[in-house]
């Protein structure tokens, strides 16, 4: 037992297991590591060692990454001074990366925290202990890389033999005994997609037809019992189907194609015709005249969290060029959460005109053009409820006293209901706060909130098209409010959830439907809100419901 003079050392025990296999057992690998570490800590009780109550466990996390919740909590407590010694069963439980290990040890040393491995007696406070640990970590990293090479070689060899090596089961197939077998109902959908594409000759037209026809993606039940998939097929999903060589009975791997062991769904002639049409359409886009898209705000646009926007351009009908500023996560393909209200895409011309007009107002200089924006603008932040501009006061006001110019500008701002400013700006920087939000809907950029030059309400094409589809859907089912009473006896309900959601729009009050057609609906009202919600049946209640969207 430690004497009263022996300092107390708080010991944090960290455990990790790469896979989740076996973690459901009553006594698993993490428990075994913890028992061994607790026994070692107890053996050092004479040195004042005491095991911390908090558990730092990472079950199912690779040692090649620092993105582990248990490790993050451990490092946070180390930084907070709550830990004196970190105990692990083996060094590679902490990390398998030599670079990550050196970073972790540096953080331990900075906070005077020792590191101990139960099965490998080390003391990282000495140079010899660190050298030995580095050697062991080098071997651990080598073992991890060799294991990865073995797995990659096994996958390549298996695919060369035509064996499907896992992943998301494609539309048209089911997985039975670890092999792909045809799902005849879904296979008919795949053949239909190829046939209609050859008829329509356009992925956009095919997408609209599939959505209107009620064709949905593959649905399945997750391990947690959740129903997954069964959604509208977007452009990316349709391209994936049309280019997927699995439907020819082949297994592609790193640019090579091998005969598969599964039954093909599409014949080669149909597949080759689809590839030729895809190539022709892409070549047609490439032949369009190249225009220089001057994105003057490049490197200046950010969201509220400091993530940058990048310029992008695309051609529409008639060869018209459309310019945008896109959020970084949109370009990398990250899916948007349902509660995420961050701005992800803004029309380039609209944003540039908006920034130019705001700067002209504050400087009282109508001669400023969009090309001059990089001269005066340091940064433009697109927030959920406001847009903020950081301006270079020296460049904006010229050789005059910057302090005087900023005070004069702030005096004008105080009389302007639209603009605000930072109460304590750095010298030579003026921050404008404009209570407006940029929102893309129906392919157009809306500017919501506030009043400023150029603000025009636009018709939301998505809402208008959904309203038209609702009346068309119910008219085909003889259930539309416009259907004569004599024909209403044959009415029937739509046969799937999406069609039922769309059809409800036909029962909105006539004045509310006219608001949508005129583009006068509340700014916060979105199509997905109308589809997922259940508006009241009474028109008076519907009007109050609409008013809640502001």
pLDDT digits 0-9 by tens, 87-116: 999 888 888 776 677 778 778 888 889 888
Cα separation values, 226 from 186, 222, 249, 452, Å: 20, 5, 30, 47
Beta strand 9-17 with 85-88: parallel, antiparallel or unpaired?
Answer: parallel
How far apart, in Å, do the first and last CA atoms of the chain sit?
69
Task: Report whether pLDDT(337) > 90.
Answer: no
Cα separation values, 521 from 107, 147, 465, 547, Å: 55, 59, 14, 9
Domain ranges of the chain: 9-144, 173-286, 301-448, 461-547
Q: Please answer whether residues 383 and 306 qualify as being in contact, where contact means their C-beta atoms are separated by less than 8 angstroms.
A: no
Q: Please answer whether residues 449 and 463 qualify as being in contact, where contact means their C-beta atoms are separated by less than 8 angstroms.
A: no
Q: Please answer whether residues 324 and 345 qualify as being in contact, where contact means their C-beta atoms are separated by less than 8 angstroms.
A: yes
Number of other residues whose CB lies within 10 A of the CB of residue 231: 12
Distance in angstroms (rounded) separating the CA atoms of residues 164 and 261: 8
Task: Report whether pLDDT(86) > 90.
Answer: yes
User: What integer pLDDT is reported at residue 330 of this predicted model?
Assistant: 67
Cα separation values, 414 from 23, 387, 411, 431, 526, Å: 62, 18, 5, 14, 34
Query: Is 83 in a helix, a strand, or coil?
Result: coil
Token pair 């795949």: residue: 190
Token pair 């005249």: residue: 289
Question: Residue 312 phi/psi, 5° resolution?
Answer: -150, 155
Task: Report whether pLDDT(484) > 70.
Answer: no
Band of the pLDDT at 338, cuts 50, 70, 90?
A: low
DSSP state of 352: H
Task: Report whether pLDDT(166) > 80.
Answer: no
User: What integer pLDDT is reported at residue 422 of this predicted model?
Assistant: 47
CA 508, distance to chain mean position in Å, is 33
User: What integer pLDDT is reported at residue 358 of this predicted model?
Assistant: 83
User: What integer pLDDT is reported at residue 418 of this predicted model?
Assistant: 46
User: pTM, whole model, 2 decimals?
Assistant: 0.40
Band of the pLDDT at 136, cuts 50, 70, 90?
A: low
Q: Which CATH number fits domain 9-144: 3.40.50.1390, 3.30.360.30, 3.30.470.20, 3.40.30.10?
A: 3.40.50.1390
Provide mean pLDDT across the span 388-409: 68
Distance in angstroms (rounded) separating the CA atoms of residues 346 and 302: 11
Mean pLDDT of the chain: 78
Provide mean pLDDT across the span 512-536: 76
User: What integer pLDDT is reported at residue 85 of this predicted model?
Assistant: 92
Cα separation values, 5 from 8, 9, 82, 112, 470, Å: 9, 12, 20, 20, 81
Q: Which CATH number fits domain 173-286: 3.90.1750.20, 3.40.50.261, 3.40.50.300, 3.30.70.100?
A: 3.90.1750.20
Among 1-15, 139-153, 316-330, 393-407, the least confident range: 393-407
User: What integer pLDDT is reported at residue 75 of this predicted model?
Assistant: 93
Per-position DSSP letters for 184-239, written without gaps between them: HHHHHHHHHHHHHHHHH--HHHHHHHHHHTT-B--EEE-TTS-EEE--B--HHHHH
Q: How much of the chain, in percent, has pLDDT values that exceed 70?
A: 76
Task: Report whether pLDDT(340) > 70.
Answer: no
Distance in angstroms (rounded) separating the CA atoms of residues 523 and 520: 8
User: What integer pLDDT is reported at residue 523 of this predicted model?
Assistant: 64
């Amino acid at each position: 037992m430690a004497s009263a003079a022996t300092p107390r050392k708080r010991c944090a025990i960290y455990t990790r297991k790469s896979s989740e296999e076996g973690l459901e057992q009553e006594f698993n690998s993490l428990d075994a590591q913890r028992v061994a570490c607790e026994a070692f800590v107890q053996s050092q009780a004479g040195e004042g060692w005491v095991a911390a109550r908090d558990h730092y466990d990472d079950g199912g996390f690779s040692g090649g990454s620092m993105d582990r919740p248990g490790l993050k909590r451990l490092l946070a407590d180390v930084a907070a001074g709550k830990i004196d010694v970190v105990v692990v069963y083996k060094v590679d439980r902490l990390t398998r990366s030599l670079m990550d290990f050196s970073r972790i040890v540096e953080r331990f040393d900075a906070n005077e925290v020792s590191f101990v491995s139960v099965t490998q007696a080390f003391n990282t406070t000495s140079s010899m202990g660190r050298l030995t640990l580095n050697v062991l970590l080098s071997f651990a990293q080598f073992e991890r890389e060799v294991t990865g090479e073995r797995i990659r070689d096994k996958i390549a060899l298996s695919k060369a033999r035509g064996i499907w090596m896992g992943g998301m089961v494609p539309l048209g197939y089911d997985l039975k005994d670890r092999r792909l077998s045809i799902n005849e109902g879904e296979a008919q959908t795949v053949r239909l997609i190829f046939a209609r594409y050859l008829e329509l000759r356009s992925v956009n037209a095919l997408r609209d037809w599939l959505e209107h026809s009620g064709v949905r993606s593959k649905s399945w039940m997750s391990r947690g019992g959740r129903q997954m998939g069964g959604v509208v097929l977007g452009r990316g999903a349709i391209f994936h189907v049309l280019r997927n060589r699995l439907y020819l009975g082949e297994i592609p791997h790193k640019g090579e194609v091998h005969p598969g062991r599964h039954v093909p769904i599409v014949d080669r002639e149909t597949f080759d015709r689809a590839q030729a049409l895809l190539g022709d359409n892409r070549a047609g886009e490439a032949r369009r005249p190249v225009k220089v898209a001057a994105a003057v705000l490049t490197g200046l646009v950010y969201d509220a969290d400091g993530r940058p926007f990048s310029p992008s351009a695309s051609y529409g009908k008639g060869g018209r060029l459309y310019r945008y500023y896109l959020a970084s996560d949109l370009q990398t393909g990250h899916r948007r959460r349902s509660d995420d209200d961050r701005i992800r895409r803004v029309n380039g011309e609209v944003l540039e005109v908006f920034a130019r007009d705001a700067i002209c107002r504050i400087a009282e200089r109508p001669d400023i053009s969009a090309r001059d924006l990089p001269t005066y603008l340091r940064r433009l932040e697109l927030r959920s409820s406001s847009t903020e501009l950081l301006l270079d006061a020296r460049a904006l006001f010229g050789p005059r006293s910057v302090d005087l110019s900023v005070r004069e500008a702030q005096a004008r701002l105080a009389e302007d209901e639209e603009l605000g400013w930072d109460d304590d700006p750095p010298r030579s920087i003026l921050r404008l706060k404009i209570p407006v939000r940029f929102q893309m809907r129906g392919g157009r950029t809306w500017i919501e909130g506030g009043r400023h030059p150029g603000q025009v309400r636009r018709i939301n094409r998505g809402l208008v098209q959904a309203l038209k589809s609702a009346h068309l859907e119910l008219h085909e089912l003889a259930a539309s409010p416009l259907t004569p009473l004599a024909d209403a006896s044959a009415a029937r309900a739509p046969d799937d959830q999406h069609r039922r959601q769309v059809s409800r729009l036909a029962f909105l009050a006539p004045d509310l439907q006219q608001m949508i057609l005129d583009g006068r609906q509340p700014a916060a009202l979105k199509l997905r809100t109308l589809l997922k919600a259940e508006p009241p049946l009474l028109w008076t209640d519907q009007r109050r419901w609409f008013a809640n969207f502001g």
